[in-house]
Amino acid sequence: MKRAAHVTAAVYVVLMAMAVTYPGVLPFNTMRPYVLGLPFSFFWPAAWVAGATAVFYFVERVHRSRPTGGSPPLGAPRVTPR
């Protein structure tokens, strides 16, 4: 599952880079329509960044659900042997 999460994140980052840089943004480089009060050319990259937040949250949840025996996640209580 970790590999699938990493591949998903990598594919998303590549697609995002193509969609918000010069050649990929040309079809969406318009002032109208307005989406959530923003011109579409501002909304387009903001939507990709919001999507990246969701994708990386998914990756983090996959990593947290399957511990690898390394150090405990941040915020986890420390267990000391007696």
Which residue blocks in the chain are alpha helix, DSSP H?
A: 2-20, 22-25, 40-65
One digit per residue, pLDDT tens: the chain, 82 residues?
Answer: 788 889 999 999 999 999 888 888 888 888 788 999 988 888 989 999 999 999 999 999 988 876 666 666 677 777 777 6
Residue 45's nearest CA partner among 23, 19, 27 is 19
Tell me: cis bond preceding 45? Omega within 30 of 0 counts. no
- Biggest alpha carbon distance in the chain? 66
Domain spans of the chain, in order of start: 2-65
**Residue in the structure block whose two tokens are 């919001």:** 50
pTM over 0.75: no
Beta pairing partners, 38: 35
Evaluate the CA torsion angle 36, 39, 41, 46 in order and state its sign: negative
